[in-house]
Structure 1
Amino acid sequence: MDGRATALGAGTVLNALATGTGSSFALDVETSATVELDATTDAVTGTIAEEPNGDTTLIERCVALATERWGDGEGGHVRTESDVPLAAGLKSSSAAANATVLATGAALGLTIGDDPDDPAVDVTRLAACRLGVRAARETGVTVTGAFDDATASMLGGVCLTDNDADELRSRETVDWDALVWTPPTRAFSADADVGRCAAVAPMADLVADLAAAGRYTEAMTVNGLAFSAALGFDADPTVEAMPHASGVSLSGTGPSVVAVAAEADPTADLDAVAERWGDRPGTLRRTTTRTDGATIDDTP
């Protein structure tokens, strides 16, 4: 009763804290989860490879909810390994939850797919995603439920969602190169100032309209300026990138900033962005968008 799965990190088009509408896009950074179930117990333990003393409540709750719903309440152990930095705004919690739920489904012998009308599919990836979002809410790691982050991580591409209703409004594929600057500080989503974010709701509505029209890169730049101010982050990195990027935004509740270069944009130059950001403390990462989403891996 072992299973392994991998889910993706993501960047932000629209932060859902202001209005409940959010949008995120999958990045080629991964979190893997290995789940070993034990039918003799209902206790679940967890380990985070990069942080042996880290909080494992979320991934343990994911296993418990999955076995309660699809199994017989089995316990066991879950271990995650990740390229997604924790508390950096790159959706590490969503990736960990998605990977854990899928790995648990695999350990239970379930067939996971995307077509709810396919009799061979036991659980859809969207249903698995919603279970991980429930675990995130129950363990207090998110304010909004982060359904936008979770769907991008699970399904790939760029997703626009109603986080209050856990409704996927749209999903499209995008082909962008990305540059991520992550400063050395951390910012936990659950600590975000919701009141200040609510104050920029009119700008969030504008961002949602742009995203709904498929103008994702413009949307994310407006989002980056508005939410940097609302969440107390320096907007200078966003402004520095604007002349050279198709779009740039504070990702999630920060502190990472993500600049993208769309394939159809001949003016985009992420090397120029990297030169502007290069003297800032922290790390720079070059990556791309992903369209495949989370996957079941071969059993270890």
Structure 2
Amino acid sequence: MKGEAFSAITVINAFATGKGGAIGIYLKVSVRVKLTDEGVSGEISVRGEEFEDLSLVKAVVETIKDKFGLDFGVKVEIDSEIPVGKGLKSSSAVANALTKAILKELKIELSDIEVVKLGVEAAKRAGVTLTGAFDDACASYFGGLCLTDNLKLELLKREEVEKIPVVLLIPQETVLTSSLRRRNFRVLAPYVEEAFKLALRGEWKKALVLNGLIYGSFLRYNLEPIAKALEVKAIAGLSGKGPAMFAITEEPEKIVEIWRDYGEVLTTRLR
């Protein structure tokens, strides 16, 4: 059975307040799932390279087994276009695609939002999220802008967005979520809350710029790429925990030119 899900970029990072927002983009994860008698095996390919870690796959399987009182194994093939450890929601996309495919294979019907919640539970079990990443999971699954309360697992607002080009900057460094557990993001709460209110009012472009500047400076990233993108009137921010940055613009070639010196640059669209 096949399943797919997509990447997303951050509007509001939920680390500080538990409330967050993200927008889907067209970077895809495809999975194939075959049920077996026991165990978890398979192959994961990320952007053409082998990826050895099956911990998220195992967490998805355990979560589904526990919820429905079943016993089964799986063999998986996962092919992902999403870089890992860059803040581009690779874990949410894999959890969504796998959960969807395994449930189909088991002939279990759930509403879309329940499928997303199962994937979030699995991501928590696997230790790949600090907040449950319900915002990322919703944007990955549904597309469009999704604003959520991650602590209550509530989708507060969803709206379609224009399929504007997005330029992604992917620096060399990788930042795994587990490395941020000791950081006190609560000190950012008063500022991030204001940005979240902007997003709820429909001013998500302003919100994501503020979010990027707040978290980017707190995490001590070089914010020069964002500054340069703003100078040419793009909307630019930090995705997730970083280090990936993004710019939403009708003139992607300008940003590609400016950002070339900072790392790998990809172009896609809002979904």
Q: TM-score, normalised by structure 1?
A: 0.85
2:191 is matched with which residue: 203, 212, 218?
203
* Cα-to-partner distance string for 1:2-49 (whole Å, 9 max, x where unaligned): x110100000000000110100000000011111102x33x2234312
2:235 is matched with which residue: 243, 247, 253?
247
Which SS does the other structure have where 2:52 is aligned? coil
Instruction: Report deviation, 1:198.
Output: 2.0
Instruction: Report deviation, 1:165.
Output: 0.9
CA distance in 2, matches of 1:16, 1:194: 16
Q: Residues 57-68 of structure 1: matches in 2 within 5 Å?
A: 57-68=55-66
Tell me whether 1:47 sits opposite 2:33 in the alignment: no
Alpha-carbon distance change, 245 to 128 in structure 1, aligned in 2, over 3 angstroms: farther
The code of the aligned residue for 1:174 comes to V
2:266 is matched with which residue: 263, 273, 285?
285
Q: Show the counterpart of 1:89.
A: 87
The code of the aligned residue for 2:122 comes to A
CA distance in 2, matches of 1:24, 1:152: 6
* Cα-to-partner distance string for 1:220-266 (whole Å, 9 max, x where unaligned): 000010010111211111111113344211100011101112xxxxx
Which SS does the other structure have where 2:231 is aligned? coil
Instruction: Report deviation, 1:102.
Output: 0.5
- The answer to whether the 8 Å contact 1:45/1:77 transfers is yes
- The answer to whether the 8 Å contact 1:159/1:168 transfers is yes
Aligned-pair RMSD on alpha carbons? 1.6
Tell me whether 1:272 sits opposite 2:254 in the alignment: yes
Q: Residues 1-300 of structure 1: matches in 2 within 5 Å?
A: 3-38=1-36, 40-41=37-38, 43-50=39-46, 52-70=50-68, 72-110=70-108, 122-175=109-162, 176-192=164-180, 195-261=183-249, 269-280=251-262, 282-290=263-271
The code of the aligned residue for 1:25 comes to I
CA distance in 1, matches of 2:234, 2:255: 11
Whichever structure has more helix as a proportion of its residues is 2
- The answer to whether the 8 Å contact 1:33/1:79 transfers is yes
CA distance in 2, matches of 1:106, 1:140: 25
Which SS does the other structure have where 1:200 is aligned? helix
- The answer to whether the 8 Å contact 1:196/1:230 transfers is no
Q: TM-score, normalised by structure 2?
A: 0.93
- The answer to whether the 8 Å contact 1:87/1:189 transfers is yes
CA distance in 2, matches of 1:193, 1:217: 28
- The answer to whether the 8 Å contact 2:130/2:181 transfers is no
Which range moved further: 98-107 or 239-248? 239-248
CA distance in 2, matches of 1:68, 1:151: 22
Alpha-carbon distance change, 71 to 37 in structure 1, aligned in 2, over 3 angstroms: farther
- The answer to whether the 8 Å contact 1:23/1:158 transfers is yes
* Cα-to-partner distance string for 1:253-283 (whole Å, 9 max, x where unaligned): 011101112xxxxxx5332222221222x21
CA distance in 2, matches of 1:58, 1:179: 28
Instruction: Report deviation, 1:69.
Output: 3.1
CA distance in 1, matches of 2:97, 2:156: 23
Which range moved further: 188-197 or 205-214? 188-197
Instruction: Report deviation, 1:71.
Output: 7.0
- The answer to whether the 8 Å contact 1:4/1:32 transfers is yes
Instruction: Report deviation, 1:196.
Output: 4.1
The code of the aligned residue for 1:161 comes to T
CA distance in 1, matches of 2:67, 2:195: 36
